[in-house]
Each structure stands twice: as structure tokens, then as C-alpha cells.
Chain A
């Protein structure tokens, strides 16, 4: 049984490396990246027989770029400035053309990754304030803020806080003396609500973000040209670039065709009108007469019932993915943890080594753990299951160990004295008596795994986290709830089901 599951999982994993009848498109987790990924997907579906697989909403540049490097995805959209400053770690600000030439050359040399020509618009970072904020009435340029921001509250995405060309260089270059407790790193989707409610005064945004219009913000001019140019291209992995020449032709159809205004409008369509990125991408391609196919899209402003109906297929798909992730993990880790837990009761010195180790795993933040696993396992289901597996070890192994360890020693000796073998003692005495504690561990593990499995969406493993993170990225609470409610229900139901199984398995003689 285990063998079969491993073979299937490995099979899925390695297939896209061998056969070239499929293209895996990735995206990062913000609206524009979703739209650009969908646009390419639509064109490929329209003009080739290639199967398109989408790993959208990857949790950051590092995840997406690592996935491209090791072949877990074949293509994703990214920005020249990001490649220049974040991946190549270069600091000197150059013209858009020079920046592009450098990333194109160095990416090909270093990793065999090909940059398409720019799709047209420039989407750089920008500093935004509320239009109706009186304090900024006369301020047009960022340099006007120099040494005047001590009392202002400022938020930026996590990635910006970390980057070479990000917060540190930016605040130094303009002498922005924010008080350290006024600086917040935030998920970009949440920043907009924060500035709307005046919880923050200044936020770092992408200049083409549709929400700038939506939330009535104004952009301050980067008059010192601090931010490098951010022109978007499709990054294509070496293999697929060589193997599928058709892809180059398809991408070339999009080169230089999207203006800044058009991109802002597309982002706005998703963020404000709650259209799906796919629909917006489709409408753009139709308008530009780049696509022949006819698609129908459900209207997102319909009632709840119609909304759910339109999402039924999607919901079934992510629910299935989530169930496989959670219960696949629990199945493996339950079997392994029981065996390890029993082993540790037999060799106590191993317990002294093992527990600090699995305790430490538990303290690694889930996203960081996923980050560590990407270079080893790539992206998708496998690293997600490995991470969830590692998280479920502690409650399961510890409870098995403690459950057996806390059984009265005299009872074990009495059983041995009666003439039970070691295995019979394990089977007939230790396990039945430890069952309530083992079940408590299983229930804890199941809640941890089902909850944490939502993060799997950030590394392209799908599941109920997919709509949650998309919803957060595009300020779409309906979409968030579409993932969050089933995830919560799943956790509650699985806890109740395990409780029911527990009450069936545990003897009445040791129930309270």
C-alpha cells in the first residue's frame, strides 16, 4: 500500500521532467502575477496541444525562482528589477534597457534561464498615501518627506523589507527617519485595508496595482530614481526553452503589448470587480485579437449560491488536494511515529537524542521549513507532505512514548510473570493501555496538519490554502472564506471522527 502511494507520488513528480507534452506555469501570489500567468496559459491552450498545469500563488520570489531553477515549474512572470537587485544582488541603478540586458545575459549564463522581451509596462515600487490625507496635500515628491516622517506610520511587504533595493536603501536614500516602532512588515493585500482605516499612513505598493485606484491613494514621485526599473518578462527554464520552440513564439505575441494603463486596469478589474484573473486575461487577449477560443465566465457579483455553484469544481479539486495532503501525511506519520515511539521506549538513550530534535522541528516557522525543503524536494505536493510529516511527528511520537512510558511498571511485570512474551505485552498490554494518549496525539496532529496544509498553497501544492492566499492577495473575502470555512470544518470533523474511533477502540475499563 505504502509502496503504491510512493510510486504514484514519485511518478507525478518526475513525469514533467521526462515527457514534454505538458507545461507548468507558475506565478507569485499577487494579482498581476496571476493575470500574466493566466494570459500565457490561455494562449498555450488556444494554439497548441500542450497540457497546461498551473502552480499559481507561489509564496515569494525565492520560491518561484527556486522552482524554476530546479524544473518544478517551466515558466513564470517576473520583473527585471527583481532579477537585477534581488537575485543578482546588484545595487547600481541603471536604465531600463541596461538592467534588462544584464539580467538576460547573466541568467542565461548562470542558470540557462531565458528572459523574454519586456511585455511593455513598468511596475516598480512606489510610495502611496491617502488622497484625502491633509498632511500630504502639498507633497508630490518623496524627497519632500526627508526628515519629516518621525511620527508617521509606514508599512511595506515582507519582501521589500528584506531586499537590497528595499526598505533600508530607500529610507537612507531619502533620509526617511521613521521611528522603529512605526515600521510594519505586512502582507501586501492587508496593507490596503490598513491604510484605508488609517492604521498606517504610508505604504509601499506596486505602481500598477489596481487597488491604488480602488482605495483612493496617490503615489509620490520617486524623484531620486531610487527604484530600479521593473519591466515584466516571462522567465523560461532552459529545458522547456530548448524542447518547445512553440513557446517562444507564443510568448513573443505578448512582448511589448501591455501598457501601464492597461495593466493597472486589469489589476483593478480583479481587485475591485472581483473578476477572476483568468477572465480578465481572456478579455484582454480577446480585445487584442490574440486568441480564438471562446470562454464563458461566471459573474462574481452573483449571489452566494450562484458563487458556490460556479466554484463547485474548484472547491472539489482543492478539497481533494487538501484531503490527500492531510490524510496522506497522517497515514504515513501515524505508522512511522507509532513504530518510532515504541522503539524509543525500548532504547531510552535514543529518546534523549530524538526528542530535542523533533522539538526543534516544531519551532521552525512553517514557511521557513517549506523554504528549506524547496532546494531538496522542489515545489508541489512532495515538499508539502514532507513538511507536514515533520510537524506531525512531535505529537504522535511523544504521545506514543509517554503513553507507553506512563503505564504502571508493576502491571507490566505482572503480565510478564504470567507468561506473556515481549511482543504479547506490547500488543495486549502496552498499546491498549496507551491508546487514549496515542489518540490524543493523533487528534492534535490532525488539527496541526489540516491547519498547516493551507500553507502548502504557497509552494504550489494546492489545497484549501489556495483560495485563502489568493483571496488575501486580491482582497477578496469571499475567496478567503471559500478556503477558510472548509478548512475549519475539516479540522473539526476530523477531530470528532477520531474521537469517535477512539471511543470505539479504547476499552471501557480505562475510560473515565
Chain B
């Protein structure tokens, strides 16, 4: 479960806030998508939930725990985090990338190996021996799968994904969408995805949050957006993108 209460972020005193007093909740095991144009505050919101950006005011709960009073590093380690272009470390091979945090935590080598074998099955990369390869030897889709495996390594209940499929070609993106949905059916993670692609949001999101100028304009299911857009701007945004 992710819950956000009256969250605000101002980067400077003079400009208007990047994120302006927003509240929403994502139920356990559901996928939510924050959507909006660039500069709408969606990425800042995600980074605040992961404590990469400190909120000006407001509170964040993950599984009923408040982010206030939690150590930043421990907080981030309890959450899976996936970014655009995967954010894999180029000097580490796939195995070392996935086990980065587990190694820091000095987990048992055998357990790490078993867990990684399991995760490679989950991301459909079990066939060839990918573990020895470096990121530059993988395709964009494969890199993104490894990024997801890394986020799942410590078995967090919550996954945050920042434009995870943005840099991929449409075919790879489509198949990764299916894989993510399957994965969620199996693992029941609470997932928050930031995207600018409305069709991706419609396909993946149990819940869609549309942001503009730091505020939430509409929040609800795909049907709500299609059938009951709250205003003309929302209607135009959806239609403009779906017609592309």
C-alpha cells in the first residue's frame, strides 16, 4: 500500500510548487500509473516516495509506515526502484547488478544464487547464460528486465517505476507490458509507474492519476477516464494521445 497525504514540493520560494498539495492511495497488489506531460510533477512525486527528493510538506506511507523518521537509505532499500534505461551499472555483470544490494547486506552466497535463478525465470531470461554478461551486451528490453529483477531481488512489497519502458521499441514494450501484468498476478506487488504514455497507463493501471502543473486533475480507472473525463483538458489529453 502506498499513501500520499497533502504532499508538496517547492524547489524555490519564488516559483510555484513542482508538486502542489496532492493526496492519493494505491491499494496493496494494485498497479497505479501517474501520467502527465513533462514538468507536471509526476517524477518528483515518485522520487519523494523513494526519498530521493525531500518533500516541503506532507507525508508518505508505505505499508502504513510513515516516511518521516525513517532513515533514507533503509527506506529506499525496502522499496524496489526501476528507472528508464534500467540504471544498470555498466561495470558490473548481470549477476552483480542484480545482487548489488544483497552483497552489501552480506547475504548468504547460496541464497543469492537461488534467488537470482528464480528471478531470471520470472523475467524470462533463464535460457542463455545471461548472468555473466555486461549491460552493454544486452538489448534494451533485456536491460530493462534485469532492472526489474534487481528491484525484486530483496522481495519488496512496493515497486516504483520511472518511465520504465520509455526507451524501448513498441514491440518490446508490448511484450514487457504483458510480462509485468503476469508478474503482478503472480507476485502481488504494489506498483506505481510514472509514464507519459496514456495507452500504457490504460493497459497497465488499475488506477490512473493524471497530473498537471503539480496538481492531480483526475484519479480513477481507465473506464472513468474514457467515459467520464472531469474536464475538457483531460478529454483532449486522452484523445490527443490515443489518436497518435
Which residue of B has the minimal Cβ distance to A413?
Answer: B52
**Closest Cβ–Cβ distance, residue A402 to chain B (whole Å):** 17
Give the docked Cα–Cα distance between A424 and B100 (Å).
10
- Would you call A419 and B83 a contact (CB within 8 A)? no
Given contacts A417-B52, A424-B104, contact A509 B90 (CB under 8 A): yes
Whether, in the assembled complex, A290 has its beta carbon less than 8 Å from a beta carbon of chain B, the answer is no
Whether, in the assembled complex, A292 has its beta carbon less than 8 Å from a beta carbon of chain B, the answer is no
Q: 1/0 per position for B44-83, CB-CB distance to A under 8 A?
A: 0001001010000000000000000000011011000101
Contact partner, A417, options B83, B89, B135, Cβ 8 Å: B83
Which residue of A has the minimal Cβ distance to B76?
Answer: A419
Whether, in the assembled complex, B134 has its beta carbon less than 8 Å from a beta carbon of chain A, the answer is yes
Query: Which A residues lie within 8 Å of B150 (CB)?
Result: 418
Whether, in the assembled complex, A428 has its beta carbon less than 8 Å from a beta carbon of chain B, the answer is yes
- Would you call B134 and A419 a contact (CB within 8 A)? no
Contact partner, A507, options B84, B85, B91, B160, Cβ 8 Å: B91
Q: 1/0 per position for A414-437, CB-CB distance to B under 8 A?
A: 111111110010001100110000
Which of A416, A509, A510 has the most chain B CB atoms inside 10 A of its CB?
A: A509
Query: Which A residues lie within 8 Å of B81 (CB)?
Result: 414, 417-418
Whether, in the assembled complex, B230 has its beta carbon less than 8 Å from a beta carbon of chain A, the answer is no
Contact partner, B134, options A420, A429, A508, Cβ 8 Å: A508
Contact partner, B100, options A418, A506, A508, Cβ 8 Å: A418
Which residues of chain B in 85-100 are interfacial with respect to chain A, using CB atoms and an 8 Å cutoff?
85-87, 89-93, 100
Whether, in the assembled complex, A137 has its beta carbon less than 8 Å from a beta carbon of chain B, the answer is no
- Would you call B73 and A429 a contact (CB within 8 A)? no
Which residues of chain A in 453-512 are interfacial with respect to chain B, using CB atoms and an 8 Å cutoff?
506-510
Query: Which A residues lie within 8 Å of B87 (CB)?
Result: 410-411, 413-415, 417-418
**Closest Cβ–Cβ distance, residue A421 to chain B (whole Å):** 5
Give the docked Cα–Cα distance between A433 and B85 (Å).
17
- Would you call B100 and A428 a contact (CB within 8 A)? yes
Which residue of A has the minimal Cβ distance to B154?
Answer: A419
- Would you call A419 and B90 a contact (CB within 8 A)? no
Give the docked Cα–Cα distance between A418 and B92 (Å).
15
Query: Which B residues lie within 8 Å of A508 (CB)?
Result: 134
- Would you call A420 and B50 a contact (CB within 8 A)? no
- Would you call A507 and B83 a contact (CB within 8 A)? no
Q: 1/0 per position for A124-167, CB-CB distance to B under 8 A?
A: 00000000000000000000000000000000000000000000
**Closest Cβ–Cβ distance, residue B132 to chain A (whole Å):** 10
Which residue of A has the minimal Cβ distance to B92?
Answer: A509
Given contacts A415-B89, A433-B90, contact A421 B100 (CB under 8 A): no
Give the docked Cα–Cα distance between A501 and B47 (Å).
39
Give the docked Cα–Cα distance between A500 and B220 (Å).
60
- Would you call A419 and B73 a contact (CB within 8 A)? yes
Query: Which B residues lie within 8 Å of A411 (CB)?
Result: 87, 89-90
Give the docked Cα–Cα distance between A418 and B79 (Å).
8
Whether, in the assembled complex, B101 has its beta carbon less than 8 Å from a beta carbon of chain A, the answer is yes
- Per DSSP, chain A at the interface is helix
Query: Which B residues lie within 8 Å of A429 (CB)?
Result: 89
Whether, in the assembled complex, B185 has its beta carbon less than 8 Å from a beta carbon of chain A, the answer is no
Whether, in the assembled complex, B136 has its beta carbon less than 8 Å from a beta carbon of chain A, the answer is yes
**Closest Cβ–Cβ distance, residue B35 to chain A (whole Å):** 21
**Closest Cβ–Cβ distance, residue A507 to chain B (whole Å):** 4
- Would you call A510 and B73 a contact (CB within 8 A)? no
Give the docked Cα–Cα distance between A246 and B47 (Å).
82
Give the docked Cα–Cα distance between A201 and B225 (Å).
97
- Would you call A432 and B91 a contact (CB within 8 A)? yes
- Would you call A510 and B91 a contact (CB within 8 A)? yes
Query: Which A residues lie within 8 Å of B104 (CB)?
Result: 420, 424, 428
**Closest Cβ–Cβ distance, residue A404 to chain B (whole Å):** 14
Query: Which A residues lie within 8 Å of B74 (CB)?
Result: 419
Give the docked Cα–Cα distance between A429 and B92 (Å).
9
**Closest Cβ–Cβ distance, residue B220 to chain A (whole Å):** 28
- Would you call B93 and A509 a contact (CB within 8 A)? yes
Give the docked Cα–Cα distance between A506 and B100 (Å).
18
**Closest Cβ–Cβ distance, residue A423 to chain B (whole Å):** 10
Which residues of chain B in 142-167 are interfacial with respect to chain A, using CB atoms and an 8 Å cutoff?
150-151, 160
- Would you call A507 and B73 a contact (CB within 8 A)? no
Give the docked Cα–Cα distance between A411 and B84 (Å).
10
Give the docked Cα–Cα distance between A416 and B87 (Å).
10
- Would you call A507 and B50 a contact (CB within 8 A)? no
Contact partner, A509, options B73, B91, B101, Cβ 8 Å: B91
Give the docked Cα–Cα distance between A507 and B132 (Å).
12
Which residue of B has the minimal Cβ distance to A435?
Answer: B91
- Would you call A410 and B101 a contact (CB within 8 A)? no
Give the docked Cα–Cα distance between A510 and B91 (Å).
6
Given contacts A428-B100, A509-B134, contact A416 B76 (CB under 8 A): yes
Query: Which B residues lie within 8 Å of A415 (CB)?
Result: 87, 89
Give the docked Cα–Cα distance between A336 and B74 (Å).
32
Query: Which B residues lie within 8 Å of A510 (CB)?
Result: 90-91
- Would you call B89 and A421 a contact (CB within 8 A)? no
Which residue of A has the minimal Cβ distance to B133?
Answer: A509
Query: Which B residues lie within 8 Å of A419 (CB)?
Result: 73-74, 76-77, 101
Which residue of B has the minimal Cβ distance to A506?
Answer: B91
Which residue of B has the minimal Cβ distance to A436?
Answer: B91
- Would you call B76 and A418 a contact (CB within 8 A)? yes
**Closest Cβ–Cβ distance, residue A437 to chain B (whole Å):** 13
Given contacts A410-B85, A418-B76, A509-B135, contact A433 B91 (CB under 8 A): yes
- Would you call B76 and A417 a contact (CB within 8 A)? yes
A-B pairs with lowest CB-CB distance, top 7:
A414-B87, A509-B134, A419-B77, A507-B91, A419-B76, A417-B81, A509-B91
Q: Could you give 29 example pairs across A and B, Cβ below 8 Å?
A: A410-B83, A410-B84, A410-B85, A411-B87, A411-B89, A411-B90, A413-B52, A413-B83, A413-B87, A414-B83, A414-B86, A415-B87, A415-B89, A416-B76, A417-B81, A418-B76, A418-B87, A418-B100, A418-B101, A419-B73, A420-B73, A424-B104, A429-B89, A433-B91, A507-B90, A509-B91, A509-B92, A509-B136, A510-B90
Q: In the complex, given contacts A414-B86, A420-B73, what are 12 additional A-B residue pairs having Cβ atoms less than 8 angstroms apart?
A: A411-B89, A413-B83, A417-B50, A417-B76, A417-B83, A417-B160, A418-B150, A419-B73, A428-B89, A507-B91, A509-B91, A510-B91
